[in-house]
Amino acid sequence: MEFIEKVEKLREKANVSYEEAKAVLTETDGDLLEAMILLEKQGRVAPPAGASHAQEESEAPNARKAQPDGHMGWQGFVAWVRSLIRRGNRNTLLIRRQGETIGSMPVTVFVAALFFAFWVTLPLLIVGLFCGCSYSFKGPDLEKENFNKAWDKASEVAESIKADIQREMENGEHRK
């Protein structure tokens, strides 16, 4: 469903203006359910009759409620980890070579590989750079960031080092 269709649907269901619907959908990355929940929390939409228990459950995934001592509770921590995993699963690491995509993986898998097997993952990334691979992130959360600029810079540095080594090797052969 396109963004404009989601705005229209939210506007109809929640009886809010286009501007409000657009703002809430932008804030919730286009998730209609999350937008409705947010509107309910803000008091702009009345929850359906008998929905108090369902509303409490729906708040749990996004809850980062502080305990009296100022710390997040266990449920808040679990909700935070779930939201990170959800964001990681909707974003992808693309691996390209000569402009063609040769592989992709969810960011969650990439981060897990870096965390649990960095001694394998990191060298593979570096070898890939020297073999002409480039990396980029695709998805609603990471395309906006400077992550892709960092990957591009790493590719440029690898190409520069590779060119320097090739020049040195050529100059060494000519001296003999």
Q: pLDDT tens digit string along 49-76?
A: 655 444 444 444 444 444 444 455 777 7
| Cα–Cα distance measured from residue 114 to residue 116, given in angstroms and rounded to the nearest whole number | 6
Looking at 1.25.40, 2.60.120, 1.20.120, 1.10.8, the CATH number of the domain 1-48 comes to 1.10.8
Pair 29, 89: CB distance under 8 Å = no
DSSP H or E run through 94: strand 92-97
This prediction's pTM? 0.48
Domain extents in the chain: 1-48, 89-175
User: What is the pairing mode between strands 100-106 and 133-138?
Assistant: unpaired
Helix 32-41 to helix 3-14 angle (10° resolution) is 40
Pair 105, 135: CB distance under 8 Å = no
Given this model, what pLDDT does residue 109 score? 92
Please state the rounded mean pLDDT for residues 79-103. Answer: 87
| Cα–Cα distance measured from residue 90 to residue 83, given in angstroms and rounded to the nearest whole number | 11
| Cα–Cα distance measured from residue 146 to residue 109, given in angstroms and rounded to the nearest whole number | 20
- Take residue 168 and report the two structure tokens written for it: 């040195």
| Region label for 144, one of left (φ > 0), alpha (ψ between -120 and 50) or beta (otherwise) | alpha
Residue type, 44: R
Indicate the pLDDT class of residue 102, thresholds 50, 70 and 90. very high
DSSP H or E run through 163: helix 147-175
pLDDT higher for 131 or 171? 131
Given this model, what pLDDT does residue 112 score? 92
- Take residue 21 and report the two structure tokens written for it: 């619907």
